[in-house]
Amino acid sequence: MSDDEQGVATTTRDPEISAEVREDGTGEISVDGVVERIERESLQEAGAAITTRIAELAGDLGHPVPVQVRDPEGVWSLLVHPDGSVDEAPEVPPEPAAPEPLAPEPPAEGAVEAPEPAIGTEPPPGLIPTTVPPQDRGTTLPTLDDLLAARHPVTAGPAEHGWRVGVRRVTFGAVSPGPGRSEQRKRVQQAAVRRGFDGPKTIVVINPKGGAHKTTATMMLAATFGLERGGYTLAWDNNETRGTLGWRSAHTEHARTAVDLLRALPTLGEDGTVRVGDLDAFVRTQANQQFDVLASDEDSASAASVDAAAFTSLHDVLSRFYRVLVVDTGNNMRASNWQAAVRAADQIVVVSTIREDTAQSAAWALDALRATGHEDAVRRAVTVLSEPDRKVDKDLRRRLRSHFGALTRAIVEVPHDAALVAGGPIDFDALRPETRDAWLRATAVVADGL
């Protein structure tokens, strides 16, 4: 006799469905543990294929099915209907909080109270461990991204990247999920870089040691400002003799330098008045990243040098036409043009690779600035630490974050990228997405101090 004949009710259980989609266009659907793999050209196409396949399963069942989808930014819930439409699944109410434990009774007289167990979590790098009040334990410390988000809120809108775009496309806009955490952070950083300033701003990149990635940092900051702000950005090699910024920039039709511009200033325009078009003959336009480069003297036979007066003359002219000037500096802190650049700086950026020698040079430079009356500039400075290789000394990184974190306003790390170490012109398009994202974050932190 069947269960129905015996009057026993039978129920049909919906399958448990989950899915995962990855950046490389691969993914899978799991139905009660049976995995079906998906391979497409992009994350968006894989997301759309997964949604379509789940809609087929919903059609077989005759009703919408819930699914947990994991993408590169986390896990989120969907409700997929048989007709292919998708809703965001309603949030599940949180479980009731566990009752507060009863306070322990005081120890009996003469008894020895057991010590509180040690907390094994290491504090975030760069923070000095302190005694945390009991009521504050377990809270999350604010990060640089939190501070940026508080200062530069962005308007919510549908996702423009990742799996969520595939959902919007496959539903023809019926469902427009908001951006994931990574895209939200990127929008905040872009808002920080794009915000209006109250006048031209000068950023000075320093480290008196060669090989510290000053020129790389100058190019990357200028490129990011240019791309996000749409131009009016200058990368300027303020080396008293010869620097390498011109070599790292894209080749142009001329090879004129800051020395040529300095010599031409008295004769440019009527009555010595320089026009923006006059500068085209002296700066090297980086068309793809929408910024210009003013190189230092590249003539091996030249005896010309740039001093404080020359820097001031150039700065007065250039700041009329550029909203952001990112200044690369030489290795001689005693040079008058180096000191003039620091005096003109709205923001100092001290750069170092995660190496003992370049880090010691950066620390020495900050000590020298503090000793010569630039304490406030150091306190408002930003430290950029570059990974010199794919493998980094973790203990050294921790010590550098602790040291520079105590001296400067913020620390930002940027990853190693083979496209930056060849020494030739920097191809921004050849950089890994992680590298571009890291420099966007670094530029946002710098811009936040302007």
Summarize pLDDT for 129-187 with one digit per residue, the tens: 333 333 443 445 556 666 666 666 665 655 555 555 555 555 545 555 555 667 778 88
Q: Is 196-448 a CATH 3.40.50.300 domain?
A: yes
Which 8-state DSSP code applies to residue 277? Answer: G
> Residue 330 in contact with residue 239, Cβ under 8 Å?
yes
Is the Cβ–Cβ distance between 154 and 186 less than 8 Å?
no
pLDDT at position 253 is: 79
| Percent of the chain with pLDDT strictly greater than 90 | 38
Name which of 167-176, 313-322, 343-352, 425-434 the model is least confident about: 167-176
pLDDT in tens, 62-105: 888 888 888 776 676 778 888 766 766 665 544 555 555 544 44
| Residue 110 pLDDT grade (very low, low, confident, very high; cuts 50, 70, 90) | very low
Which whole number is the average pLDDT over 298-307?
65
The predicted pLDDT at position 65 comes to: 87
Query: Would you state the pLDDT for residue 271?
Result: 61
Counting residues of the chain whose pLDDT is more than 70, the rounded percentage is 72
Please state the φ and ψ torsions of residue 218, each to the nearest 5 degrees: -60, -45
Q: How many CA atoms lie within 13 Å of 144's alpha carbon, on the beta-carbon side?
A: 25
More confident residue, 133 or 22: 22
| pLDDT score at 42 | 81
Q: What is the pLDDT of residue 229?
A: 92
What burial letters (b/e) apply to 38-59, b meaning 16+ CB within 10 Å?
bebeebbbbbbbbbebbbebbe
**CA 268 from centroid of its chain's CA atoms:** 40
Q: Are 363 and 208 in contact (CB under 8 A)?
A: no
170's torsion region: left (phi>0), alpha (psi -120 to 50) or beta?
alpha
pLDDT tens-digit profile of 228-256?
A: 998 899 999 998 767 778 877 877 778 88
Q: What is the pLDDT, as a whole number, of residue 9?
A: 45
**Residue-level pLDDT at 126:** 34
- If pLDDT is split at 50, 70 and 90, which confidence band does 5 have? very low
Q: What is the pTM of this model?
A: 0.67
Please, which residues bridge with residue 172 across strands?
Answer: none
Considering all CA atoms of the chain, what is the largest pairwise distance in Å, rounded to the nearest integer?
109
pLDDT tens for each residue of 190-225: 889 998 999 999 999 999 998 899 999 999 999 999
User: Quick one: pLDDT at residue 180?
Assistant: 60
pLDDT at 22: 85
Q: What pLDDT band is residue 21 in, cutting at 50, 70 and 90? A: confident
pLDDT of residue 156: 62
Model pLDDT, residue 121? 37
